[in-house]
A and B are shown apart, each in its own frame.
Chain A
Amino acid sequence: MNQQDPIIEARDIHKSFGQVTVLTGVDLEVWPGEVVCLMGASGSGKTTLLRMMNHLETPDRGTIRVGGDLMGYRLHKGRLHELSPSRVADQRRQIGMVFQHFNLFGHKTVLENVIEAPVGVLGLRRSAAIERAQDLLAKVGMHERADAYPAQLSGGQKQRVAIARALAMEPKVMLFDEPTSALDPELVGGVLAVMRELAASGMTMVVVTHEVGFARGVADRIVLMSDGVIVESGPPDEVLDRPRHERTRRFLSAMR
């Protein structure tokens, strides 16, 4: 893969859950080093699209490539063949994900949460994984709580640990699904600061968020979804200040 290839390439994505049609032909490319903020009203399919990027959700039609890999499938003689769960797991190593509700492993300490996959999946030596984890925990300001259990942490602290846990796999791209939506207002800033730093370090990021301030300051591009399609995509000032579509204007005025 060279610099000209997108890290994520979604083509003609369709998805419905039973009667509910969620995505109807979404195309999206994310380029190396780019920070894309996915915005849109609740229920517009942001989470579904994001989860498809690491195959936690499967498309009804269309394909997603991450780092050149066709996620979840193998193309053979013009047909898509489902990969085994183990092959899908291997594909996911290059993609980090941060969830709205953190999903830290409740029976493991902060440090154990961070080293679990590097040791168990990448086969890193424990000592090397601990070293890497301590660096990352320092970066997110959680090194002093390495021995705490998730239940002993605030939401903001949990989310910073979750970010460190994902980064410990050294992913090519990081996906965030409303990482601050479940937080008390005073804890949002700390998580956004960590994400800002990560963006500044050159990480490729796709962030579903309602934080307009963060999107304006950090995003290279804002992608706005509505009714199963992308209605607007462009630099923050363009999308936020000079939206081309009526639906964008309505969404933005509802946000304020």
Chain B
Amino acid sequence: MSIDDSAAPRIARRRPYLSWLALVVVLVLIVGAIRSVANNPYIDWSVTRQYLFNDQVLTGVWMTVRLAVISMLLGIVLGILVGLARLSRNRPLAQVAASFILLIRGVPVLVQLLIWGNIGLFVQTVKIGVPFTPIEFWSSPANDLIVPFVAATIGLALHEAAYMAEIIRSGVLSVDRGQSEAAAALGMRPGRIMRRIVLPQALRVMIPPTGNQFVTLVKGTSLVSVIAGGDLLTQTQNIAATSYRIIEMLAVATFWYLVLVGLAGALQVVLERWAGKGHTR
């Protein structure tokens, strides 16, 4: 080797001609599909534009947001309780939690929503009292209490709780046992160890699947249209039923679901950043 060769030879990178070709093909297909939908003579896009911010549609959007957020919050709270019960050393408690999860996950949400929506058919009154005695503090006819919004919220929240319980359980199990042992060795009590040491670290593992759950839930709220839940899909379907603008109204619904899911995704990114602190960068 001569001294002149001391400069290292330049690297010639491989050119991914095939990938470029594939990209071009895909772009052509996408543009073609968009054009064919946009110029479709059977779809009147002006109707879609006209209804995008229609009052009834916005009411539906707002209901969908409320359903998703309230069910999620209730689901998280209940899910924490069920998840921790499932992890508890108290065997009967863990068994009850496991059965709850099995039951809820074993029945399609659509079926569960229909059951809650039609609860008035087999339950006349809801009361709070001492079981097996006539003592009664409060009661109400089921049909007055379980209005579609309540039925939808109960159905979605229970479903959410079962999945959150599993997410919380796997999150807690993902935290190294040394963490709770170190906390115990410092004299911390079990509840405090869970709250201050284990759950915050489980959170990092829990947020991505929780975000996915929320996105699924936002879309899942559309199922409550079967019990006239007043959500986005219910409203757009109602409009379509009278105006016969079925595809146009589905496009309105599609637009709003994409917006809501996009927002949920952005929220997830923010939460993941926040929960990742202290983790190896």
Interface residues of A (CB under 8 A from B): 54, 56, 85-86, 89-90, 92-93, 95-97, 99, 101, 103-109, 116-117, 120-121, 149-151, 162, 165-166, 169
Q: Is the CB of A117 within 8 A of B188?
A: yes
Contact between chains at B281 and A99 (CB < 8 Å): no
Q: Which of A56, A107, A116 contacts B201 (CB 8 A)?
A: A107
Contact pick for A150, options B183, B186, B278, B281, CB 8 Å: B278
Instruction: For the A-B complex with A54-B185, A105-B197, A116-B196 known, give 18 more contacts whose Cβ atoms are closer than 8 Å.
Output: A89-B184, A89-B188, A93-B186, A97-B182, A97-B185, A99-B178, A103-B178, A104-B182, A105-B179, A107-B200, A107-B204, A107-B277, A108-B278, A116-B183, A120-B196, A121-B188, A149-B278, A151-B281
B278 cross-chain contacts in A, Cβ below 8 A: 106-109, 149-151
B187's partner among A90, A103, A106, A151 (CB-CB below 8 A) is A90
Cβ A99 vs Cβ B181 within 8 A: yes
Neighbouring A residues of B186 by C-beta, 8 Å:
92-93, 116-117, 121, 165-166, 169
Interface of B is mostly: helix
CB-CB under 8 A from A117, the residues of chain B are 183, 186-188
Most buried by A among B187, B196, B200: B187
Q: Once bound together, how far apart are the Cα atoms of A86 and B187, in whole Å? A: 9
The answer to whether B280 touches A89 (Cβ under 8 A) is no
Shortest distance from the beta carbon of B185 to any chain A beta carbon, whole Å: 4
With A117-B186, A117-B187, A121-B188 in contact, is A106–B181 under 8 Å at CB?
no
Q: How big is chain B's contact interface, by range?
A: 20 to 34
Question: Roughly how many angstroms separate A122 CA and B175 CA in the complex, as a whole number?
Answer: 25
Chain A residue, CB-CB nearest to B192: A120
Complex CA distance for A93 and B187, rounded to whole angstroms: 5
In the assembled complex, B9 has its CB within 8 A of some CB on chain A: no
Task: Pull 29 A–B residue pairs with CB atoms less than 8 Å apart, ordered by A.
Answer: A56-B181, A85-B189, A86-B190, A89-B190, A90-B187, A95-B185, A97-B182, A99-B178, A99-B182, A103-B176, A103-B179, A103-B181, A104-B182, A107-B201, A107-B204, A107-B277, A107-B278, A108-B278, A117-B183, A117-B186, A117-B187, A120-B196, A121-B186, A121-B187, A121-B192, A151-B278, A151-B281, A166-B185, A169-B186
Q: How far is the CA of A134 from the CA of B201 in the complex (A)?
A: 25
Inter-chain CA distance A120–B195, complex, in Å, is 11
| Distance in angstroms between the alpha carbons of A97 and B278 in the assembled complex | 23
User: Which of A85, A101, A105 is within 8 Å of B183, CB to CB?
Assistant: A105
Indicate if B279 sits at the interface (CB-CB under 8 A): yes
Per-residue CB contact flags for chain B residues 165-209 toward chain A (1 = under 8 Å, else 0) read: 000000000001011011111111110100011001100100000
Q: How far is the CA of A96 from the CA of B184 in the complex (A)?
A: 10
Nearest CB of A to B182, in Å: 4
What distance in Å separates the Cβ of A163 from its nearest Cβ neighbour in chain B?
A: 12
The residue that B182 contacts in the complex, of A89, A93, A103, A121, with Cβ under 8 A, is: A103
Complex: how many Å from CA A200 to CA B7?
60
What's the least CB distance linking B84 to chain A, in Å?
A: 14
A86 — which chain B residues lie within 8 A by C-beta?
Answer: 189-190
CB of B175, distance to nearest CB on chain A (Å): 9
Chain B min CB distance to A174 (Å): 11
Inter-subunit contact A56/B178 (CB<8 Å) = no
Cα A103 to Cα B198 with chains together (Å) = 12
Given A106-B179, A107-B200, A120-B196, A56 and B185 touching (CB < 8 A)?
yes
Residues of A within 8 A of B183 (CB): 105, 116-117
Using CB atoms, name the residue of chain B closest to A94. B187
B188 touches A149 (CB 8 A): no
Q: Which residues of A contact B281 (CB under 8 A)?
A: 151
B195-249 interface with A by 8 A CB criterion:
196-197, 200-201, 204
By a CB distance below 8 angstroms, the chain A residues around B181 are 56, 99, 103
In the assembled complex, how far is the CB of residue B30 from the closest CB belonging to chain A, in whole angstroms? Answer: 43
- Interchain nearest-CB distance for A47 vs B (Å): 12
B279 touches A101 (CB 8 A): no
Q: Distance in Å from the Cβ of A160 to the closest Cβ of chain B?
A: 15
Complexed CA–CA distance, A42 and B234 (Å): 68
Tell which of A56, A116, A162, A166 has the most Cβ of chain B within 10 Å: A116
Which 9 pairs show the lowest CB-CB distances between chains A and B? A103-B182, A93-B187, A117-B186, A103-B178, A97-B185, A149-B278, A151-B280, A89-B189, A107-B278
